[in-house]
Chains A and B, each alone.
Chain A
Amino acid sequence: MKISILSHKAMQITSEDDVVLVRREVRALAQGQGFDSFATAAVTTAASELTRNVFVHARSGEVDIDVVSDGRRNGLRVTFRDKGPGIADIDRAMRGGYSTARSLGLGLSGSKRLVDEFTLQSIVGTGTTVTFVKWKPF
Chain B
Amino acid sequence: MKGTIPVLRLGDILLVTVHIDLEDDIAHVLQNDLLVAIEKHGSRGLLIDISGLDMVDSYVARVLAETGQMAKLMGAVTVLVGMRPEVAATLVRMGYAMGGIRAALDVEDGLALLGYQLRPV
Binding site for B on A (CB under 8 A): 16-17, 19-20, 23-24, 27, 37-38, 40-42, 44-45, 48-49, 52, 96, 102-104, 106-107, 109-111, 113-114
Q: Which of B48-67 contact A (CB under 8 A)?
A: 54-59, 61-62
Tell me if B93 is interfacial: C-beta within 8 Å of chain A. yes
How far apart are A29's CB and chain B's nearest CB, in angstroms?
14
Are A104 and B89 within 8 A (Cβ)?
no
Tell which of A41, A49, A52, A96 has the most Cβ of chain B within 10 Å: A41
Which B residues lie within 8 Å of A16 (CB)? 23-25
CA A40 to CA B84, docked complex, whole Å: 13
Q: Which residue of A lies closest to B53 (CB)?
A: A41
CA A38 to CA B94, docked complex, whole Å: 13
Are A104 and B55 within 8 A (Cβ)?
no
Are A37 and B86 within 8 A (Cβ)?
yes
How far apart are A106's CB and chain B's nearest CB, in angstroms?
5
Tell which of A16, A24, A48 has the most Cβ of chain B within 10 Å: A48
Interface size on B, as a range, is 20 to 34
How far apart are B29's CB and chain A's nearest CB, in angstroms?
13
CA A20 to CA B56, docked complex, whole Å: 12
A-B contact pairs, 25 of them (CB 8 A): A16-B23, A16-B25, A19-B23, A23-B55, A37-B85, A38-B85, A38-B89, A40-B54, A41-B90, A44-B55, A45-B57, A45-B94, A48-B55, A102-B24, A102-B59, A103-B62, A106-B95, A109-B94, A110-B58, A110-B93, A110-B96, A111-B94, A113-B93, A114-B90, A114-B94
Summarize A's interface: helix, strand, loop or mixed. helix
CA A103 to CA B59, docked complex, whole Å: 6
How far apart are B88's CB and chain A's nearest CB, in angstroms?
10
Binding site for A on B (CB under 8 A): 21, 23-25, 54-59, 61-62, 84-87, 89-90, 93-96
With A23-B55, A113-B94 as known contacts, state yes or no: A17 contacts B89, CB within 8 Å: no
Tell which of B25, B61, B90 has the most Cβ of chain A within 10 Å: B90
Can you list the 9 inter-chain pairs with the closest CB atoms, starting with the nearest? A110-B94, A41-B86, A48-B57, A104-B58, A106-B58, A37-B86, A38-B86, A44-B55, A41-B90
How far apart are B15's CB and chain A's nearest CB, in angstroms?
25
Which B residues lie within 8 Å of A113 (CB)? 93-95
Are B58 and A27 within 8 A (Cβ)?
no
Are B58 and A42 within 8 A (Cβ)?
no
